[in-house]
Amino acid sequence: MDCPVCKNAMITLELADVEIDYCTVCGGIWLDAGELEMLLGNPQQAEKLLDSFKIHTNSPEKPRKCPICLKKMQKITVGLSTPPLLLDKCRKGDGLWFDKGELQDILTRAQLDKDSKIQKLLADMFGEEQNTEKR
């Protein structure tokens, strides 16, 4: 599968038994349909989060193409937080695209436990750059 941003071939990583596609160039992550729910691990939290998705029109971000069906994806915002978190979602429901750091962001917004397994895994995997941003 090619990265929708830089067209680089993505690598598959396993994160808490979920296979995610990761671009080593731009740090973006592709999740197939249903994988975000699996990562969240809690159906109620997942539903709440998915319910907060809103289609965002007139986004300043360029539309990206779904790595599966190659059609332009829709921009969606998550929740009501500011600044809004903008994700790309395949209109046909193939999956979701997260730019670098956005997957961690959405998991933080989903208010998982601080010592959630998934947060730890992400920190281990992508932690260094994330940490330096906070310092």
The CA distance from 105 to 92, in Å, is 24
**Three-state SS at 65:** strand
Task: Examine residue 55 and tell whether it contacts Zn ion (CB under 5 A).
Answer: no
**Residue 95 is which amino acid?**
G
Site for Zn ion in 60-99 (CB under 5 A): 66, 68-69, 90, 92, 94
Looking at residue 62, the DSSP 8-state letter turns out to be P
Residue from the set 16, 26, 50, 86 that interacts with Zn ion by CB under 5 A = 26
Asked whether the beta carbons of 23 and 3 are under 8 A apart, the reply is: yes
- Of the candidate spans 22-30, 48-56, 76-84, 122-130, the one that interacts with Zn ion by CB under 5 A turns out to be 22-30
Using CB under 5 A as the binding criterion, the count of chain residues that bind Zn ion stands at 13
Task: Examine residue 23 and tell whether it contacts Zn ion (CB under 5 A).
Answer: yes
**Three-state SS at 47:** helix
Q: Which is nearer to Zn ion, 40 or 64 (CB)?
A: 64
Residue from the set 1, 11, 25, 55 that interacts with Zn ion by CB under 5 A = 25
The CA distance from 37 to 59, in Å, is 25
Number of H helices, E strands in the chain: 4, 7
Task: Examine residue 6 and tell whether it contacts Zn ion (CB under 5 A).
Answer: yes
Per CB under 5 A, residues contacting Zn ion are 3, 5-6, 23, 25-26, 28, 66, 68-69, 90, 92, 94
